[in-house]
Amino acid sequence: MKTCDIAIIGLGLMGSAALRELARRGADVLGFDPLAIGEARGSSHGSCRIFRRFNFESEAYTALSDRAFALWRALEAESHQTILMPSAILEAGPAGCPSVRKSRAAAVAAGGPITGPRTGREANAAYGAFNLPDDWDVVVHEAGGILLAERAMRALRAGVEHRVAREAAQIAPMPEGIRILTASGEVMARRVIVSAGPWIAGLVPGLTRHVKVTRQAVGWFAPARPETTRYGECPIFILKAARGMIYGFPDFEGRGVKAAQHDHGPAVGPDEWDPPVSDAELATTSAMLAELVPGAAGAITDREVCLYTNTAQADVVADDGGEFVIDRLPADPRIIVASPCSGHGAKFATAIGAMLADMALDPKVKAVAAFRLDRFSSFA
């Protein structure tokens, strides 16, 4: 039977970053994933993701963003290509909006400059695409960017392709190691990282009750005023209103403005990718663009399905749910669980890949407290 020190099940952005980092450190590592780069399934497909240094989800993410940023820049230098395109990020919502307040607080705590528009009126004057209510709260961060996700995947895999098996895999813990079961044979690993996105609950015992996979409809819109939505003229935007929260990108690809709801969609299974996204699923996004970003509003030119893998609220250590799981399985510490897939994890992939490599190579490295499995009583 073939053997390796470390196996990685699932090679999206997180798994690929861990594979690259482990290989760079000289580890005997193999990765398993049946999906080709660019295939429209999984948590990491598609052209782009938002990079935010300051995050309304938690001030604690700032340090993680900074480490990820440094590692993205290192990957750019190594691959000789752009992976992270700088872009301002505009966040806005009604007066007192919690997400805007928390993002501003995270920036202030980190010493980040807050010099841009602070109200809807000021944002409308600065950016021609917007029509925000005059009294809305606004924060604009310059320390943001467009993460070119598919290009990042290719750069992370470059040089380690020989370590990748294009196969689905299951794990079977044995006294002598973790058996990796595939259609073509078996591999025995000393440790395994499970980073399988929406499929992770089917691989990790006891995780099913704590995660929910949701279907997220994403659209590209032909801008009504293209000159206002060009890259460099229009920021990335995250808008919270009574209808929900949407995010969007400037038209940096020439295919329109990418926009979607960040609110969780209907619960689905990890293989439920059909039917194609309908106009009805994008109705809220279309309506919010027409109302708040009319320069970007227009006909839907393209659409795709994205899946979020969302954690439930913890019952040992209070959290709001949607937090990452990055931890060793308490019942078998040889198994490392990596599920940073709640719709905002991609920007951290390089930092999380390094974190997973640390944990796989050194059993003394502890998981970050907020990401531990024992925040759920069933794992405590």
Least confident interval from 123-137, 141-155, 312-326, 346-360 = 312-326
Three-state DSSP at 356 gives helix
pLDDT band at 139 (very low <50, low <70, confident <90, very high): very high
Residue 195 confidence (pLDDT): 98
pTM: 0.96
Three-state DSSP at 249 gives coil
Beta bridge partners of 220: 258, 302
Residue 59 confidence (pLDDT): 87
Q: Two tokens at 181?
A: 């079961």
User: What would the pLDDT profile of 264-283 be if each residue is shown by its tens digit?
Assistant: 999 999 999 999 999 999 99
The answer on pLDDT for 113 being more than 80 is no
Question: Could you tell me where in the chain the CATH 3.30.9.10 domains are found?
Answer: 84-147+212-311
The answer on pLDDT for 79 being more than 80 is yes
Residue 342 confidence (pLDDT): 84
Whole-number Å distance between alpha carbons of 336 and 327: 6
pLDDT band at 112 (very low <50, low <70, confident <90, very high): confident
CA R_g for the chain = 21
The mean predicted confidence, pLDDT, of the chain is 96
Q: Report the share of the chain in percent with pLDDT over 70.
A: 100
Mean pLDDT of the region 211-232: 97
Mean pLDDT of the region 199-216: 95
Domain 84-147+212-311 top-level CATH class? alpha beta
Three-state DSSP at 98 gives helix
Q: What is 98-156 written as a DSSP string?
A: HHHHHHHHHHHHTT----S--BHHHHHHH-TT----TT-EEEEESSEEEEEHHHHHHHH
Q: What are phi and psi of 109, to 5 degrees?
A: -60, -30
Question: Could you tell me where in the chain the CATH 3.50.50.60 domains are found?
Answer: 2-45+150-209+313-375
The neighbour count for residue 38, using CB atoms within 10 Å, is 12
Q: Report the share of the chain in percent with pLDDT over 90.
A: 92
Q: Does the domain made of 2-45+150-209+313-375 have the CATH classification 3.30.530.20?
A: no
Mean pLDDT of the region 46-73: 95
Mean pLDDT of the region 170-175: 97
Q: Which helix (H) or strand (E) holds 122?
A: helix 120-126
Whole-number Å distance between alpha carbons of 99 and 105: 10
Between strands 2-9 and 244-248, the pairing is unpaired
The one-letter amino acid at 286: S
Mean pLDDT of the region 306-333: 93
Contact 238, 91 (CB under 8 A): yes
Residue 1 confidence (pLDDT): 85
Residues in the chain: 380
CA dihedral 268, 271, 275, 278 (to 10 degrees): 50
